[in-house]
Amino acid sequence: MTDETPDAPAPEKPIHRKTPPATPMVQAWLDGEETRDHLATEDEQETAELWTRINSEAAQLRRRNTPIHVQSRILNSLTDLTALPDEPPAKGFKLSTPVVVLGGLVILVLGAVFGFMLVR
């Protein structure tokens, strides 16, 4: 709470009035979800005017394309390189499929024999 005297001089009017912040309706308009007709207040129209200018500039940037020499520069830089498949050959010991199947069968038979002996 402030103790302001009644006859204190009124604050000076700012030279420049800040543009009102974007309301949810302005944000919705900028997102393409509402039309500008839905911006009811003067403040919203003022903010919309600012964003129209910003968007106009952004649209200029959107038309930018890759400089023509860049694509060929990239292709030329690939000359000594190779595109690699995802899985390089695995190093070290690796079991082949028949060996894995045979091993599984042996374990199964041994398990059955041991089980049979235990039951007896």
Question: Interface residues with other proteins (CB under 8 A)?
Answer: 16-19, 21-22, 27, 29-32, 35, 47, 50-55, 57-62, 64-67, 70-71, 73-75, 77-78, 81-87
Does residue 97 sit in helix, strand or coil?
Answer: helix
Judge whether 21 and 48 are in contact, CB under 8 Å: no
Question: Smallest distance from the beta carbon of 21 to other proteins, in angstroms?
Answer: 6
Cβ proximity to other proteins, 6 vs 21, nearer residue? 21
Write down the least CB distance from residue 94 to other proteins, Å.
Answer: 20
- φ, ψ at 96 (rounded to 5°): -80, 160
What is the SS3 assignment for 12? coil
Nearest approach, Cβ of residue 68 and other proteins (Å)? 10
Structure tokens at 68: 């023509």
Cβ-based nearer residue to other proteins, 9 or 88: 88
58 or 99, CB closer to other proteins? 58
Residue 19: how many other CB atoms lie within 10 Å: 13
C-beta closer to other proteins: residue 68 or 119: 68
Write down the least CB distance from residue 100 to other proteins, Å. Answer: 26
CA atoms within 13 A on the CB side of 91: 0
Question: How far is it, in rounded angstroms, from Cα 65 to Cα 77?
Answer: 20
